[in-house]
Chains A and B, each alone.
Chain A
Amino acid sequence: MMTYQFDWGPIWDARGLIAQGLLMTIAVSAVSLAISIVIGLVVGSGGASNSRAARTVSALFVETMRNVPLLIHMYVWYMAFAFLRLPAFTCAVLGLSLYSGAYVAEVVRAGIGAVRRGQMQAALATGLTRLQAMRLVVYPQALRIIAPSLASLFSQLIKDSSLASVIAVSELTYAAGAIEGQTFRTFEVYIAISILYLILVTAASQIVMLVPGARNEAASASFADA
């Protein structure tokens, strides 16, 4: 028996709060995204390098970071390192960046591995240094290959940012909880923010797929989604 009376009015009235939450979600995600790309690039390049030590360190980092739940990552920064007195926003960003960074690293490593070896040798033969060869020849091709996987990782990251609500970062899910508490429009508020997440996630993955050539690779990409 459906006895629930829909009433979207209170949700519309709380649009200011929802917009603030949405902006906070975008802020947490964008900062974490930037940091996780840096982490992923460094650790992933280490994982694809010729040095055994670099590969071991990279694998240890990746396995440790991604086999611990994101929620625990956040609590570690928020509670175990409470003596650092980091703001909740910083804790959320640190947890999210390290966790997602490990996933990005795996994708980057696979991407570098997928660029044919001859490319690197040819680049070195033209007189480029190793660093130049990576930057100018290998990375651009790898980026094209990994763009679909990155798109799915980034949308994962945006959704994962909802866990920041448990350490009192006032992002979208937190705002939803607050609005629910005030209005008791339980169903409406959670459906509304689900739709907002859906829009955000779709937009983010479309932006990543703007990488030139990414769409051609999408058909042939064979990396497992995280």
Chain B
Amino acid sequence: MPDVILQNLPFLLHGLWTTIDLSLWTILGGTLLGAALGTIRFVRAPVLGTLSMLFIEFIRGTPLLVVLLITYFALPALLGYRTTAYKAALLGFVLFIGAYLAEDFRSGLRSVRPSLIQAALATGLNRWQVLRLIVAPQAMRSVIPSVFNQYVRLLKFTSVASIIGVTELTGAALLVNARQFHPIAILTTIAITYLVLCYGLSLVGRALYAHFGVKT
């Protein structure tokens, strides 16, 4: 390993930890948001459904960097609160990935056969029970690949947080590079680190799908 990496290993590892920490919290928050919005759109809730659609379309049409600039600069200015780069990044990532996950969850819910829903309703379950006990479990199993696609995408996108000043892996690497200037060694090292992380995460997705997946 190049000297510049070894000398700064604790700092870079701390950055790596921040990347992982940020990704895990975003996965948790984004999945909850996505599941909520996806369900709201699936059941076509009157006002909430339209609001969710507008939110999803707005986020999906906006670059992630712009979303982060909005959560870091624009929203605090508009609503008059103070934030930190980390909190703004987390909020931005959750909103961003939540919007994409919502569409994945919705298409998963829609992939469950209508005859199954009708049969469940016929057994006397109410609509909420049908959603919770019949539709959601199957939908969850069929959306594993697209959801993990989004998780991998998110893991890569956490690098963008460095632009608003979060010292995650990319931010840490850029700081080390600014001090010692070894761009080839530093960038190669973190590129490989991301590659391993992302490939690993996608393998987890594949394993889960092989185990739980349903082919629709």
A residues at B contact (CB < 8 Å): 1-4, 63-64, 67-72, 75-76, 79-80, 82, 155, 159-163, 165-166, 173, 176-177, 180, 186-187, 190-191, 193-194, 197-198, 201-202, 224-226
Structural contact, A224 and B149, CB atoms closer than 8 A? yes
Interchain CB contact under 8 A, B194 and A72: yes
Cβ-closest chain B residue relative to A201 = B61
- Which residues of B lie under 8 Å from residue A180 when comparing CB positions? 73
Write out the residue numbers on chain B whose beta carbons fall within 8 Å of the beta carbon of A64.
195
Knowing A63-B199, A76-B187 touch, does A165 contact B146 (C-beta < 8 A)? no
Q: Answer whether A68 and B194 are a contact pair too, CB < 8 Å, given A160-B63, A194-B62, A224-B149.
A: yes
CA distance A71 to B57 in the complex (A): 24
How many Å lie between the Cα of A223 and that of B166 in the bound state? Answer: 34
Which residue, of A165, A186, A193, has the highest number of chain B Cβ atoms within 10 A? Answer: A186
- Provide the bound-state CA to CA distance between A63 and B156, in Å: 13
- In the complex, per-residue mask of B136-157: 1 if CB is within 8 Å of any chain A CB, else 0: 0000000001100100110011
B66 within 8 A of A: yes
Partner of B159, one of A72, A176, A201: A72
Q: Which residue of B61, B70, B78, B152 contacts A202 across the interface (Cβ within 8 Å)?
A: B61
Q: Which of B73, B78, B146 is in CB contact (< 8 Å) with A2?
A: B78
Alpha-carbon distance between A176 and B152 when the two chains are bound, in angstroms = 28
A51–B191 alpha-carbon span in the complex (Å): 29
Q: How far apart are the CA atoms of A90 and B120 in the complex, in Å?
A: 58
Contact yes or no, A4 B77, CB < 8 A: yes
Most B CB within 10 A of own CB, among A3, A67, A80? A67
Contact B149 A226 (CB under 8 A): yes
CB distance from A117 to the nearest CB of B (A): 21
Do residues B70 and A197 form an inter-chain contact, with CB atoms below 8 A?
no
Check if B80 is an interface residue, CB within 8 A of chain A. yes
Q: How far is the CA of A81 from the CA of B194 in the complex (A)?
A: 19
> 9 shortest A-B CB distances, which residue pairs?
A198-B61, A162-B63, A79-B183, A159-B63, A69-B156, A67-B198, A69-B159, A187-B74, A80-B183
State whether A194 and B58 are in contact (beta carbons under 8 Å apart), knowing that A67-B198, A79-B177, A80-B187 are contacts in the complex. yes
Per-position binary interface string of chain B over residues 31-63, scored 1 when its CB falls under 8 Å from any chain A CB and 0 otherwise: 000000000000000000000000001100111
Interface members, chain B 161-201 (any A CB < 8 Å)? 162-163, 170, 174, 177, 183-184, 187-188, 190-191, 194-195, 198-199
A159 vs B191: C-alpha distance when bound (angstroms): 22
